[in-house]
């Protein structure tokens, strides 16, 4: 017999209800209501036989959308608060919020916020360099800004601080000969890359970076 808390949780996102059972108190009687958090229809989206998807596929699709928390206003949540809430919810259903999920959710959020929904790409959250999923899995650090993924970019403050240091040092690629980086690195390349994550350089910032670029 399943424990009472688990029976009160959405099987996809782990959202816990106070006195409601998505699949009934016996765990076998779906309500066909919609989850207040991830939008899953109980008995359909979380049932592979009914929808052809099931829990794992629906959860992955939810991550790909940036794991929106429908019961709260996502726009009012800081990145840290959202990840903290997500960690708690997933723990309700025995899922650990590991670094791969964190990175995936962060990238999905940036894509949706900036209108770039190409799910095949991941972006460094600091410099905006685009990676294919395969390339990302081969690296623990960015080949452009040299940040350590899921460590140097683990909070909004960390991202802002690391990016500012990198820009102050001339924003030059750490591995300029890597074929995935543009040849003859320039301010134009930097602007395009940062635009991937919605970061725009001011004229003052450009002047300072160009001055530092000449020192390299």
| Highest mean pLDDT pick, 97-111, 128-142, 178-192 | 178-192
pLDDT higher at 149 or 168: 168
Closest CA to 72 of 89, 56, 57: 89
Give the start-end residues of each E strand in the chain: 121-123, 130-132
pLDDT score of 119: 43
Tell me how far apart the alpha carbons of residues 101 and 72 are, in angstroms, rounded to a whole number: 20
**Strands 121-123, 130-132: parallel, antiparallel or unpaired by DSSP?**
antiparallel
Q: Where are the domains of the chain?
A: 4-97, 120-213
Query: To the nearest whole number, what is the mean pLDDT of the chain?
Result: 82
Q: What is the mean pLDDT of residues 141-168?
A: 86
Rg (CA), the chain: 21
Q: How far apart are CA 19 and CA 5, in angstroms?
A: 10
What would the two tokens of residue 78 be? 């800081």
pLDDT of residue 9: 96
**Would you state the pLDDT for residue 184?**
86
pLDDT bin (cut points 50, 70, 90) of residue 82 is confident
User: What pLDDT is stored for residue 131 in this prediction?
Assistant: 78
Helices (H), ranges, 40-154? 48-51, 54-64, 79-92, 99-113, 133-137
193 and 144 Cβ atoms separated by less than 8 Å: yes
Summarize pLDDT for 30-79 with one digit per residue, the tens. 999 999 899 899 999 999 888 778 898 889 888 877 788 876 555 566 77
**pLDDT level of residue 1 (50, 70, 90 thresholds):** very low
Res 118: pLDDT:
46
Q: Residues 164-197: pLDDT tens digits?
A: 999 999 998 999 888 888 888 889 999 999 988 8
């Amino acid at each position: 017999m399943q424990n009472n808390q688990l029976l009160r949780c959405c099987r996809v996102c782990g959202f816990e209800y106070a006195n409601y059972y998505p699949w009934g108190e016996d765990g076998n009687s779906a309500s066909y209501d919609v989850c207040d958090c991830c939008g899953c229809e109980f008995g359909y989206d979380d049932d592979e036989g009914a929808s052809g998807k099931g829990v794992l596929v629906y959860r992955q699709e939810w991550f790909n959308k940036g794991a929106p928390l429908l019961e709260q206003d996502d726009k009012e949540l800081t990145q840290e608060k959202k990840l903290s809430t997500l960690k708690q919810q997933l723990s309700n259903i025995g899922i650990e919020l590991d670094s791969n999920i964190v990175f995936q959710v962060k990238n999905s959020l940036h894509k949706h916020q900036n209108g770039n929904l190409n799910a095949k790409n991941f972006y460094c959250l600091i410099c905006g360099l685009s990676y294919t999923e395969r390339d990302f899995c081969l690296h623990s650090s960015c080949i452009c800004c040299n940040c350590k993924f899921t460590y140097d970019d683990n909070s909004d403050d960390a991202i802002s601080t690391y990016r500012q240091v990198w820009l102050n040092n001339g924003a030059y690629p750490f591995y300029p000969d890597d074929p995935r980086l543009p040849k003859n690195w320039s301010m134009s390349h930097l602007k395009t890359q940062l635009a991937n994550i919605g970061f725009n350089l001011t004229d003052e910032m450009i002047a300072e970076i160009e001055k530092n670029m000449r020192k390299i």
